[in-house]
Amino acid sequence: MELSNRLAQIPDSYFGKTMGRKVEHGPLPLINMAVGIPDGDTPKGILDEFSNALYKPENQKYVAFHGKDQFKQAIVDFYERHYQVSLDKEDEVCILYGTKNGLVNLPQCIVNPGETVLLPDPGYADYLAGVLLADAKPQSLVLEPPRYLPKWDQINKETLENTRLVYLTYPNNPTGSAASQKVFDDTIAQFKGSKTRIVHDFAYSAFGFEHDNPSILQSEGAKDLAIEIYSLSKGFNMSGFRVGFAVGNKEMIQALKKFQSHTHAGMFGALQDAATYALNNYDDFLQQQNTTFKRRRDQFTAKLDEENLPYEPMTGGIFLWLKTPPDFDGESFEKYLLKELSILVAPGIPFGEHGRNYVRISLALDDDQLMEATERLLSISHLYQ
């Protein structure tokens, strides 16, 4: 295979390698706890809107590169309604064909070769690819248990001064930790007046179990240096639609829009119509999603507590961060669970060096499967002794 030098330096995507692969497992029926999306169907009203939009003549042609006016207005209204954040729909909104595109493309838009980018460790694995594609220098932003929050006073001053971009993600994938508004206030204060910019991956925004998840843009001065990337995949059960958006700092948004104007010719109009309908009509559905996953979290962790299986506090998102037994790392424990219990999980190592002794468990399962998985996990509690 011929690869450019730049592409050759980028490791294969863990999820690209594993999604859809044939899984060989033990004798029990397979329970997939590695899936990274909620398990429910897309609401019927959104599907009906999408179906009807297919027949609109204007959606069978090119649309405006940077999105329909009504979609951008729906985004503005959604942020005002949920976060009391005012946005300019032309200057502070960028629609995305899946939020991963924005997260991976951003460094090429605003970071120069050799500049430092701080990546959360543990954190979403594919941020790294964007940094390497920009010929920038990735550096770990170590997040420590149990809360996995940044501690700016513990980072080398020279590193902070030389950082061009910081990635944050709360609720955190993979740890299930959530941030308070103070965390974002402190982050904005830390980098105010500097050259550093911030991107907050808000993919699991709908899932906050101790409190509603705040937007980083609610912090004073946030739009001077930060953008937030929001996904419709998780909260609205629309992962296959590949729709999201970035909002916030004008210069960063305009850079993303310029990049996109050279890489694709606008989002399919029917997708925009479906997304507009979702944002305008399904606030109650987001709350139902949160209630479902909080109940699953409570039931699942109560069972783990019976046998003292060690896990980190899950205060948001859809994942639980389970510590491996003493004689295992994440990869060997993943193989053990698949062979012995027919449970598929994600090893912690792809999420950063500080995930080495963990596995990520998704709660995107129906109640029967979730309880069956719990009983199987409890059967190996002796490994933790």
Do 211 and 328 have their domain in common? no
Do 163 and 16 have their domain in common? no
Q: What's the domain count of the chain?
A: 2
- Residue 1, pLDDT > 80, answer no
Lowest average pLDDT, out of 5-9, 37-41, 102-106, 135-139, goes to 5-9
Do 53 and 168 have their domain in common? yes
Do 262 and 136 have their domain in common? yes
Do 216 and 316 have their domain in common? no
Q: What is the CATH number of the domain that holds 338?
A: 3.90.1150.10
Do 170 and 141 have their domain in common? yes
8-state DSSP, 57: G
Task: List the beta bridge partners of residue 316.
Answer: 208
Domain boundary pick from 282, 313, 331 = 282
Average pLDDT for 178-186: 97
* Residue 306: per-residue pLDDT: 94
- Residue 305, pLDDT > 80, answer yes
Question: What tokens were used for 30?
Answer: 């397979």
Do 102 and 200 have their domain in common? yes
* Residue 13: per-residue pLDDT: 67
Do 249 and 291 have their domain in common? no
Do 273 and 290 have their domain in common? no
Domain boundary pick from 253, 282, 311 = 282
Average pLDDT for 120-145: 94
* Residue 310: per-residue pLDDT: 97
> Domain span at residue 247?
45-282
Do 341 and 269 have their domain in common? no
Average pLDDT for 169-189: 97
Whether the bond between 146 and the residue before it is cis, its omega within 30 degrees of 0, is yes
pLDDT band, residue 209 (cuts 50/70/90): very high
SS3 226: strand
Per-residue pLDDT tens over the stretch 322-379 = 999 999 999 999 999 999 999 999 999 999 999 999 999 999 999 999 999 999 999 9
Do 350 and 272 have their domain in common? no
Concatenated DSSP letters of 62-131: ---TT--HHHHHHHHHHHHHHH-----TTTSEEEESSHHHHHHHHHHHH--TT-EEEEEES--TTHHHHH
Do 33 and 52 have their domain in common? no
Concatenated DSSP letters of 163-193: EEEEEEESS-TTT-----HHHHHHHHHHHTT
Domain boundary pick from 282, 309, 344 = 282
- Residue 234, pLDDT > 60, answer yes
* Residue 69: per-residue pLDDT: 93
Question: What tokens were used for 39?
Answer: 């398990």
Per-residue pLDDT tens over the stretch 243-292 = 999 999 999 999 999 988 888 878 888 999 999 999 999 999 999 999 99
Q: What is the CATH number of the domain that holds 213?
A: 3.40.640.10
